Structure 1
């Protein structure tokens, strides 16, 4: 089964998008606990979720939309008003498997297409855990957060650029708030070369938070982190693993080399002015 190509139909896309929505909701809950002043919100929307963690957070978005019909206009009005109240744009990440009429519905309301991202996946089978990767210990958490955030600030130039850019403090917060993830670090020449994590949601291993320090890039670090998480995902009983990348990026290339197939793309539709458009770091992956 490990070598079998993964075909994505609407049912699988809905399963992945539902898991993404659950992950975002959990991260926003963790952000509210961390801050203690309850600045955020999590609102259901047409089978998906609208989330706001804190100003400028990568978790401020609408996800999972389009598998339960068109959003109710009044409900979407409330979501847009909630984002406006906290002076944040509304960013919808819309799967190409979503209800086809949603794109026209959103653009008629003033949403504009800003970017795309790819969702790749593969079946989880056996595999060896690389010797240069190990789980992050509890006493290493702050180092892991710092290294992964700082490595993410130096975006890889291969592929399409992301529309999302975040300062270091917000990246650290987001990485800390990734609820329920399993973190791993890679070592090379005795140094902390990179880190990554994954979360298990309904049998899906959701890969996230991967970054390699610039001095160690193009040395197989990200590949080792992918292999480690695949092995750990198999032990956790997951049947598929998914990762989100920028189209044509080094992360995209590395994932395909590890057997990940391109399942579908998400269109990034935004209403309002992005507060993170010039602050300088990719929130997804750095190779």
Structure 2
């Protein structure tokens, strides 16, 4: 679905002097500066995947997505999206992709969602029968059948996001770019939107490229993550591989029915302790050995193994790599 080889994008600009004397000098001699936003990026996305494109601010994610959508022309390398060259912005290419932005609305604010659908229908030349079928199907899938005729300005944020998603899928794209799709939503709405993305991927086979700073989105949706740092792909694999690469130990939580009698060395080593529990990082010692010791500290009620949070994993990958692991 997506193939890039040696993809790069650089920007040239003239430095803006900080004072009047510098500004006068720049009239005679200007200093050209080149910034490499993306460098030597190799990426493959297979049909039907949900891939997270992640990275810190300024890493090159947005520039990469804009090149994949055809909004920017690469400086170096090559890329193919849906078998087309994105920068040509051909109708066959544009009819196969769609983009949804969590911060920007594609719906017309003062009319109903159905009217926005009709505008979209004309843009993509969707036949009447296909249009009726896909509106009915999306209405049922996204639970928006009862709000299609409500002016967009009167919809709640969660309702609007479902309608935005339906609009993005109206022409049945093969590839969907989702940029911060749950930003601004409450916890319940986020869960609903994530479930919808999964259902869309299963039902329509839509390939999804997700960019998000919400690691809960990533963990819930992505089969695979690509981390972009300093303009290049620093990691490409599943979340389990990413956790292993970060090298952050799992933790074990012991919960007791009463206040445990913890040895001093355990108290010093604990990550967190409460009135009836203690959390320890797992080292090289077998879990069974640790559990056996824990039974001597009190009336043990429960034992749980906790994986490191994805936020912690990502932070460690970024900080230790110097922006390029």
Same-fold call, TM > 0.5? no
- TM-score, normalised to structure 2's length? 0.26
Structure number with higher relative contact order (C-alpha < 8 Å, ≥ 6 residues apart): 1
